[in-house]
Amino acid sequence: MSNEIEIGRGKRARRAYSFDDIAVVPSRRTRDPEEVSVSWQIDAYHFDLPVLAAPMDSVMSPATAVALGRAGGLGVLDLEGLWTRYEDPEPLLAEITQLDPAEATARMQQIYAAPIDPELIRLRLGQIREAGVTVAGALSPQRTQEFWKVVVDAGVDLFVIRGTTVSAEHVSGRAEPLNLKRFIYELDVPVIVGGASTYTAALHLMRTGAAGVLVGFGGGAAHTTRTTLGIHAPMATALADVAAARRDYLDESGGRYVHVIADGGVGRSGDLVRAIACGADAVMLGAALARASDAPGAGWHWGSEAHHPHLPRGERVRVGQVGSLDEVLFGPGKTADGTLNLIGALRRAMATTGYSDLKEFQRVELVVSPYQPR
């Protein structure tokens, strides 16, 4: 049965679903939440939590990357952010939180116009490594060729290439584009790359040798991509499509498993549950962690799209503070809005539906919700 809809006589479109459109269905079995495993592994690195922090200045500093690592997740530092442009970015972080909304974008463009300092890349990654946690840093595809050697020499464990969209085949008549397949093949560390939002795009990224694929396209709380570019990829459908690509690539490659990571739209615990249910192995959290009282953004959230020098596709948004990082992840919850105890909610959902680990939970039954939640 086709789910295509006729837009007009000359155009049809496929119906796609966001997390709010779907729900998980209980099964005949339930479990004790304490007996549920939420751990996962990518390459040689094992994590107790299926949580990566988005490489955004409002979410990650070297200190918060260490804190998340010690909690069992993976903090990914933005290697094009304030921490690699300024020796002391704290005053600028504080300034950004106080900016008048009418002036915020222009002033952030000025702040982020400072050059990236390779020595600061080495210093920040070194700070994380000294703490004894897994080290991960992110560059955009445009900056990867310029700084990848600095990042690898600094001792990064996982290299993240992250953009609004990343393709395995970028066409440019002005400069030689990054050859992902050659780059990943020659690199000595596993690479997570994205975003991708379709079966075909994800399959091509998997064929480059990536260890993980980020799924999403401008769907985060601080993005305005749909407004500025008219492009949007509802996350439930995008994840299910990319999970299908992972399954087919597993057969094509003779058993090579590429991890699927939801990146965008996972703002509350119910979104985390549904992301795993749609096929994600882990989630990359931005706004959800920016709400922590110890996050660098002090209750504000923004990404690199918010200060793009030519075409901003994001905003600095107020997300508030709901509790410490530990409370956001593990509770106790003091509200019923899904902003606290994300891991407890995931455990409870898995236990309620009878699944013991994340791979099993990816097989849970879903329905299209007949209502819109509050």
Which of 111, 112, 53, 109 is closest to 80 using CA atoms?
A: 112
**3-class state of residue 315 by DSSP:** coil
**Distance between alpha carbon 189 and the CA centroid of its chain, in Å?**
19
The model scores a pTM over 0.85: yes
| Alpha-carbon dihedral sign for residues 91, 97, 100, 103 | positive
Contact assessment for residue 316 and residue 302, using Cβ atoms and an 8 Å cutoff: yes
Contact assessment for residue 216 and residue 194, using Cβ atoms and an 8 Å cutoff: yes
Predicted local distance difference test score (pLDDT) of residue 220: 62
Say if residue 160 is exposed, middle or buried (CB neighbours under 10 Å; 0-12, 13-18, 19+). Answer: buried
Predicted local distance difference test score (pLDDT) of residue 372: 63
User: Cα separation of 73 and 128, whole Å?
Assistant: 13
Predicted local distance difference test score (pLDDT) of residue 175: 53
The token pair at 172 is 């440019």
Predicted local distance difference test score (pLDDT) of residue 354: 94
Residue 121 CB neighbours (<10 A) = 23
Q: Which residues contact 356 (CB under 8 A, 6 or more apart)?
A: 31, 35, 36, 37, 350
Q: Which residues of the chain have pLDDT under 70?
A: 1-2, 164-177, 218-226, 370-374
Residue 52: beta bridge partners? 74, 284
Predicted local distance difference test score (pLDDT) of residue 173: 45
Predicted local distance difference test score (pLDDT) of residue 371: 63
Predicted local distance difference test score (pLDDT) of residue 370: 62
Region for residue 90 given its phi and psi (left: phi exceeds 0; alpha: psi -120 to 50; beta: otherwise): alpha
Predicted local distance difference test score (pLDDT) of residue 351: 96
Burial 291-324 (b: 16+ CB within 10 A, else e): bbebbbbebbbbbbbbbbeeebbbbbbebebbbe
